[in-house]
Structure formats: C-alpha cells, structure tokens
C-alpha cells in the first residue's frame, strides 16, 4: 500500500499570501497518478488537480501542482478568502487508492 | 444534471446492518467504476470499496473486508453498499464517487455525492 504523507498539518496564512502544500509518497508514483482535492466544511471534496499538474475544469490558475517520483506540491499563488479549506492528495496507481491525511489552510 | 445522491444513513447499534444507496444521474452510469469513500468525524478520507464498470472487480479496504459488500444496479443507475456487523469505528460520512474516465477501476474522482452519515452507537 502506498502511504501518502502531507505536510504541514496546518498552514496559517493571510489572504494574498502564497501557500505551498507537500505530499510525499512511500514509493515512487511512476505514472504520475496523483490528484489533489479541496474540501470545505460540510461539503464533499472537489477535484482540483489530476495527473500531478493538470487543473480540473473551472479551477483558477492560481492553483498549480508539481512534482515527480515521491514528492509532490500543491501551490496556491495568492490565497483568496474562498481558498481556506482542507486539501488532500490521492494516488490512483492501483489498489488500494489512498489519500494523504490532509493539510488545513487557515486564516492567520 | 450530473449528480450523485446518497441515502440510507442513520443511527444503528453495533453488530447490526445497514444498506447505503447512491443514485446517479446525468451520465452513463454503466461506463464508470464507482467507489465508496468514508470520512470519520474530524478525520481524513478513506477508500472503503470499489466496483468496476462491468462488475468484474470488487475490492475492499482491509478494515471492512468480509463485512461490507459493494454492488450496482445498472438498470436503476444506483450503487449500493451493504454493511454488516457494524462497529463503532465505522461511524463516518459515506460518500460515493465516480471516476473521471470510463474503463479504469482506479482513477481520480471527478464527481462526489454529498454524503450520508452513518452513526454506530449503542
């Protein structure tokens, strides 16, 4: 099973600042099958990024994904008020699908 | 419109059973693998069960193997999760989720339902 470790657990930032979230895999994701989701309180997760760096439909370009192998990053270039939420990474290289533990981006 | 709507959650005693449903609409249900993902209160996401588009493959998390059964009814565009021998640690919001690409069983999710809460308590 591929274990995904996200850091930091919580990121305290102000609107307009840059957010950098990390997701580390316990083994290399050779096919770059990594996605990121955003979840707001009381809501289901929503797809942000797939294939490491591809934005899902309707996702603004302030969100970007990068990385390879075992280290992946989600960057939010300038935080908007609606971006304060929990973010999860997920691999889809095979069974079982696993998620990282999440990073909470909170208002400082 | 394109959506998934879960139902069937509730409060149940340990050891009892519950069946969750997920009604799909707005897309060709028979072409996509479907997953159940759960989230315990204040916790992260955990994949619970998956069924391939053609039902040839069903997989379960170790934590539910032998107790939960995933199935689908293409004629009703509905996904099910039969949960037996429920434990307090099964308490969670259960989401159904659709993979983005027809064919693969393990893929990222482009559509989630709003979830249904299952509470296992005496």
CB contact under 8 A, B114 and A99: no
CB contact under 8 A, A90 and B107: no
In angstroms and rounded to an integer, the radius of gyration of the C-alpha atoms of chain A is 13
pLDDT tens per residue, range B16-25? 999 999 999 9
Q: Give Cβ neighbours of residue B112 (< 8 Å, ≥ 6 apart).
A: A44, A45, A46, B4, B37, B95, B96, B97, B98
Closest residue on chain B to A57 (Cα): B110
When pLDDT is averaged across residues A31-40 and rounded to a whole number, the result is 95
Cβ-Cβ contacts under 8 Å, A46 against chain B: 112
Task: Say what the pLDDT of residue B113 is.
Answer: 98
Phi, psi at residue A14, to the nearest 5°?
-105, 155
Task: Say what the pLDDT of residue A30 is.
Answer: 81
pLDDT tens per residue, range B32-42? 999 999 999 99
């Amino acid at each position: 099973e591929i274990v995904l470790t996200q850091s930091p657990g919580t990121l305290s930032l102000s609107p307009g600042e840059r957010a950098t979230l990390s997701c580390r895999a316990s083994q290399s994701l050779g096919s770059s099958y990594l996605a990121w989701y955003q979840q707001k309180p009381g809501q289901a997760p929503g797809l942000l990024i797939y294939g490491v760096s591809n934005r899902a439909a309707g996702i603004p370009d302030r969100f970007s994904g990068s990385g390879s192998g075992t280290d992946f990053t989600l960057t939010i270039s300038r935080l908007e008020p609606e971006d304060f939420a929990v973010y999860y990474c997920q691999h889809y290289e095979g069974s079982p699908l696993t998620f990282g533990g999440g990073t909470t981006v909170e208002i400082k | 419109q394109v959506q998934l709507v879960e139902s069937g959650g509730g409060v149940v005693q340990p050891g009892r059973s519950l069946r969750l449903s997920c009604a799909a609409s707005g897309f060709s249900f028979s072409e996509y693998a479907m997953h159940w993902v759960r989230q315990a209160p204040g916790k992260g996401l955990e994949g619970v069960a998956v069924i391939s588009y053609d039902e040839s493959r069903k997989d379960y998390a170790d934590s539910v193997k032998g107790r939960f059964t995933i199935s689908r009814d293409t004629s009703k565009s509905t996904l099910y999760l039969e949960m037996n021998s429920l434990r307090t640690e099964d308490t969670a919001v259960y989401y159904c989720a659709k993979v983005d690409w027809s064919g693969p069983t393990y893929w990222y999710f482009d559509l989630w339902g709003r979830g249904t809460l299952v509470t296992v308590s005496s």
